Structure 1
Amino acid sequence: MTIIKSFAVGNGDTFYIKHASDNFTIIDCDLNEENAERIIDELKRESAEKNIARFISTHPDDDHFGGIERLDAEMPIRNFYVVRNKATKEDVTASFQHYCKLRDDGDKAFYISKGCTRRWMNRSDGERGSSGINILWPDTANRYFKDALAEAEAGIAYNNMSAVVRYAAVGGASFLWLGDLETEFMDHIAENIDLKKTTVVFAAHHGRKSGKIPDAWLEKLDPQIIVIGEAPSRHLHYYTGYKIITQNRAGDITFDLDGGKVHIYASNLNYSHKSLKDEQQNKLPGYAGSITVETEYTLETAK
């Protein structure tokens, strides 16, 4: 079984995937004095039996790599997956310095782009299986991405150089991370990105209205759940007509992938969600409910 966790870290992102294969993936981090010890302890514990670990950096904003120097000191990052860039910042933090060190390390950095392949990320061999991760964006030849990359290198803005990362379990659920892409940018590239039905989508830019996922994307993604991050409520877009989980209310969210089911747990033990089915799960505290995974095949069969 695969476990996917989204930590409640305030205005930032920290995720991990504990794969059913011999892989462990961290996507972004935002660690501080209040949460770092707890989160790093969990990352170390959950990855202890995995031989391949990777860190995927969606883009160079401090709330997506905060505390990475501490993470690297306590849990060495040997595989740093990053969009190739030369981003600069006027306010250079210790975390940004460390991000740049990893980004520019010829031995540790692997530069991700649309359709890239890598052993054990999305290619198997006789030694171990694929992690099920694919990179849908960036297309490094796309003019809108080139403009976004230039803005990052000029120290102006970083959101629209975000990678789009998709994980899919064989015969089971799929998940999508959008970094901090902004709505207008997503509109521009709607015809240049290969989107398909996805079980759980983490809303762009922490769920802000500025990162509202366009209808053209949602029609293709057809998500069963959209997870909205911890931006202030007044800035959030709530995706009327879709099943949502708000991290402001749920706290840490854990997804337990069990074949064609996803069992969902929240660190806020008082959290409830009337749209989730109660399947009497007790693997972890804070059981909020379950969903049955829909696929393009099952939906066509049901028609």
Structure 2
Amino acid sequence: MKIKKIVDEIKLESKDKDIMRFISTHPDEDHIHGLKYLDDKINIKNFYCVSNEATKSEETEDFKHYCNLRDNKSKAFYIYKGCIRCWLNNDNEKRYGSSRIEILWPIIDNEDYKNELLNAKNGKSPNNISPIIKYSLENGVTALWFGDLENTFMEKIKNLIELPKADIIFAPHHGRHSGKIPSEWMKNMDPKIVVIGEAPSEKINYLSNYNTITQNTAGNILFDCSMGIVDVYVSNKNYSVNFLQNKGKVDKYGSKYIGTFKV
């Protein structure tokens, strides 16, 4: 059972440490499937999402569980542009260092965003309530996630936020044409690698001007990030790319090493 294998790996890798934070971009089933099973096994202590009242005409077990976590005052923390929280992106007196996670969107008083919240509340697609999330490692990688933001919505907000240079970006809406990132944002980010998610091939924007790794063929992707470099591993043992440096690393994590890039 694939879900059991994934959760067992999470439990194994975290056996000597606590997993304190679960971040949800939006409550579509392909982004929350298995949430209840995961929570039952690891006990999610902090649930991060945008403040919303999304509904569904047909509620799955995982959507109901999402709503329970979302509305749980002791577990939920609502994210928005510039939000600050100890250990997320702010040091405190008990612990030096943070997870270096920054929220670049949403601006919660933006009218277009509020309209998308209303659409989600009325049972329409919650894609455009997705946040933009930045992770950075000191003297290392910068990565950006966009959830399932759609091109039409990003075009509306593109002048409201300035995106930083990024080494890795995860293409919105699984890399579909409908999630095409505005050219102004792509120019600013100038990513070294774009990860294209699992979407039907005929709907994918393959971004021929950028180095890409496509999950449809690569399978699971693991970025092993350290100071100045990132080692890349994939689950498909036959997958390869020509834009990474071969540093002779051994396969691990049950995956194939396909190369390294500098950041």
2:62 maps to which of 78, 90, 95: 95
Hey, what's the Cα distance between the residues in 1 that align with 2:13 and 2:113? Answer: 35
How far apart, in 2, do the equivalents of 1:104 and 1:193 lie? 28
For residue 49 of structure 1, report the CA deviation from its aligned partner: 2.2
1:1-303 correspondence to structure 2 within 5 Å: 34-128=1-95, 129-282=97-250, 284=252, 285-293=255-263
Give the Cα–Cα distance (whole angstroms) in 2 for the partners of residues 53 and 237 of structure 1.
Answer: 35
Distance 1:185 1:95 in 2: 27
Q: Which has the higher contact order (CA 8 A, sep 6+)?
A: 1
* Paired amino acid for 1:36: I
What letter corresponds to residue 56 of structure 1 in structure 2? Answer: I
> Given that residues 277 and 289 in structure 1 are in contact (C-alpha distance below 8 angstroms), is that contact kept between their aligned partners in structure 2?
yes
For 2:145 and 2:16, the matched residues in 1 are separated by: 25
Instruction: Tell me how far apart the structure 2 counterparts of residues 152 and 38 of structure 1 sit (CA, whole Å).
Output: 32
Matched pairs, number: 260
C-alpha distance in 1 between matches for 2:19 and 2:174? 28
Q: Which runs of 5+ in 1 are unaligned?
A: 1-33, 294-303
Runs of 4+ with deviation above 3 angstroms: none
**2:210, 2:192 → 1: CA distance?**
7
Q: Deviations over 1:132-179 (max 9, x none)?
A: 101111110111111110100000111000011110000111111100
Q: CA RMSD of the aligned region, Å?
A: 1.0
* Stretches of structure 2 lacking an aligned partner (at least 5 in a row): none
1:263–1:290 contact (8 Å) kept in structure 2: yes
- Deviation, structure 1 residue 113: 0.5
State how far apart, in whole Å, the 2-side matches of 1:48 and 1:108 are. 21
More moved, 54-63 vs 281-290: 281-290
Deviation at 1:52, TM superposition (A): 4.8
CA distance in 2, matches of 1:77, 1:36: 16
Tell me the secondary structure at the aligned position of residue 248 of structure 2: coil
Secondary structure of residue in 1 paired with 2:87? coil
| Deviation (angstroms), 1:283 | 5.5
State, as a whole percentage, how many aligned pairs show the same letter: 48
1:252-299 superposed Cα distances (whole Å, 9 cap, x missing partner): 111011211111001111111011111111161400011111xxxxxx
What is the distance in 2 between the residues matched to 1:124 and 1:259?
Answer: 20
SS at match of 2:232: strand
**Aligned equivalents of 1:286, 1:51: Cα separation in 2:** 27
Q: Give the letter aligned to residue 148 of structure 2.
A: D
Q: Residue 174 and residue 166 in structure 1: after superposition, are their counterparts in 2 closer, same or farther (change >3 A)?
A: same
TM-score by length of 1: 0.84
Contact persistence 2:24–2:49 (CA under 8 A): yes
Partner of 1:27: none
SS of residue matched to 1:53: coil
What is the rounded CA distance, in whole Å, between the counterparts of 1:152 and 1:232 in structure 2? Answer: 24
